[in-house]
C-alpha cells in the first residue's frame, strides 16, 4: 500500500485506511511511515476506541485484539533487540569502548558512526540510538554535517568555535624550539618552561608539551656526545674530587661566579665559594 505525505497535501484532508489506524494503536507501524503522519492524528489513532464504531462487531480483529497486541509487542521487542545487537556489533568493529565514543577524535570514525546511526534510524529513533551509544545530540549533529577540519589546528577544531586554542604563531614558536639542535638533549618540560619564561608562549607546561606531542615533536633521539678527553671515572665515593666553576647572570645583568668542589662518584658538593 502506498502512503502519501500529508505535509505536502495542504489543500485537502488526508484520509487513512482503518488498518493503518489499528496498526498505529498496536504500535507496529514502521517509523518512516509513522513520521509522515501528523502528531495529532497519531495521538487520535492510538487512543481511540474503534470497538464502539458501527459494524465493529462483524470484524474478527476486535475479538482477538489482546492476542494481536501481544504479538505486536513481541515483534517490537524482537525488533529492538536486533537493533541493539547491531549497535553492539558495530561498536565492537570500531574498536572503541562505549564510554569513549563521545570523545573520539578520528574524523573517519566520526563519519562511520554518523552513517551507522542514519542507517539504523529506520529501526530505532535516533534519540534512542544516541542514548545507547552515549553520544550527545549536538556532537552527532556536528559529525553529521561533516564540517571541514581546521588545517591550522592540531586539535582539528574550528578556531571560531574553539577560540581558546594556541595561536598559529605560538605553534610555530613551539615547533622551532623543539626542533632546535641546541635543545635536543633537553626534556620537553624544560623547553616548555623556557618558552614560558621568555613569554613566547602564554600557556601551561602541560599544554605546551601536549601540543608538541600532537605535532610529533616529543620523540626525538638525544645526541650522545663522547666523553671529554681527560675525564675521570670512579667506582666509589671520595676516590676523586673535582672543581666546577659556574657562571650565573643576575637580573641586573651582572655575572657571578660559583666554584664547587664535588665528589666525582656521588656528585656530592664538598665545598663551595662564590
In the numeric block, the cell 474478527 is attached to 60
What pLDDT, on a 0 to 100 scale, did the predictor assign at position 33?
76
In the numeric block, the cell 558495530 is attached to 90
255-263 β-sheet, strand order: 241-249, 255-263, 269-273
CA gap 46, 27 in Å, rounded: 8
Give the chain's residues under pLDDT 50. 1-3, 6-10, 58
**Per-domain residue ranges of the chain:** 15-59, 66-145, 168-214, 241-273
> pLDDT tens digits, residue range 215-242?
888 755 555 555 555 567 788 888 888 8
Alpha carbon distance, N-terminus to C-terminus of the chain: 99
DSSP 8-state symbol, 45: H
CA distances from 99 to 125, 128, 138, 196, 210 (A): 20, 16, 17, 36, 23
What pLDDT, on a 0 to 100 scale, did the predictor assign at position 41?
83
Reading the block at residue 200, the C-alpha cell is: 613566547
What pLDDT, on a 0 to 100 scale, did the predictor assign at position 235?
83
**Model confidence, pTM:** 0.34
- 134 contacts: CB under 8 Å, gap ≥ 6: 98, 99, 101, 102
What pLDDT, on a 0 to 100 scale, did the predictor assign at position 242?
81
What pLDDT, on a 0 to 100 scale, did the predictor assign at position 108?
75
Q: Is residue 134 a contact partner of residue 128, using CB atoms and an 8 Å limit?
A: no
Amino acid at each position: 500500500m502506498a502512503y502519501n505525505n500529508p505535509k505536502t497535501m495542504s489543500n485537502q484532508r488526508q484520509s487513512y485506511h482503518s488498518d493503518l489506524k489499528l496498526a498505529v494503536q498496536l504500535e507496529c507501524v514502521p517509523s518512516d511511515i509513522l513520521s509522515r503522519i501528523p502528531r495529532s492524528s497519531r495521538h487520535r489513532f492510538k487512543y481511540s476506541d474503534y470497538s464502539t464504531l458501527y459494524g465493529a462487531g462483524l470484524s474478527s480483529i476486535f475479538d482477538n485484539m489482546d492476542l494481536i497486541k501481544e504479538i505486536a509487542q513481541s515483534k517490537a521487542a524482537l525488533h529492538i533487540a536486533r537493533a541493539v545487537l547491531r549497535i553492539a556489533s558495530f561498536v565492537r568493529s570500531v574498536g572503541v569502548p562505549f564510554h569513549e565514543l563521545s570523545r573520539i577524535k578520528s574524523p573517519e570514525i566520526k563519519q562511520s558512526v554518523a552513517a551507522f546511526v542514519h542507517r539504523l534510524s529506520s529501526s530505532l529513533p535516533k534519540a534512542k540510538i544516541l542514548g545507547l551509544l552515549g553520544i550527545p545530540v549536538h556532537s552527532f549533529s556536528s559529525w553529521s554535517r561533516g564540517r571541514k577540519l581546521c588545517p591550522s589546528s592540531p586539535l582539528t577544531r574550528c578556531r571560531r568555535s574553539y577560540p581558546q586554542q594556541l595561536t598559529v604563531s605560538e605553534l610555530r614558536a613551539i615547533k622551532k624550539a623543539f626542533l632546535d639542535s641546541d635543545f635536543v638533549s633537553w626534556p620537553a618540560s624544560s623547553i616548555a618552561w623556557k618558552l614560558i619564561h621568555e613569554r613566547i608562549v602564554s600557556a601551561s607546561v602541560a599544554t605546551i608539551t601536549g601540543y608538541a606531542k600532537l605535532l610529533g615533536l616529543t620523540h626525538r633521539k638525544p645526541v650522545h656526545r663522547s666523553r671529554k678527553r681527560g675525564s675521570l671515572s670512579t667506582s666509589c665515593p671520595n676516590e676523586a674530587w673535582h672543581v666546577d666553576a659556574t657562571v650565573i647572570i643576575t637580573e641586573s645583568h651582572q655575572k657571578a661566579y660559583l666554584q664547587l668542589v664535588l665528589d666525582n662518584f656521588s656528585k656530592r658538593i664538598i665545598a663551595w665559594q662564590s
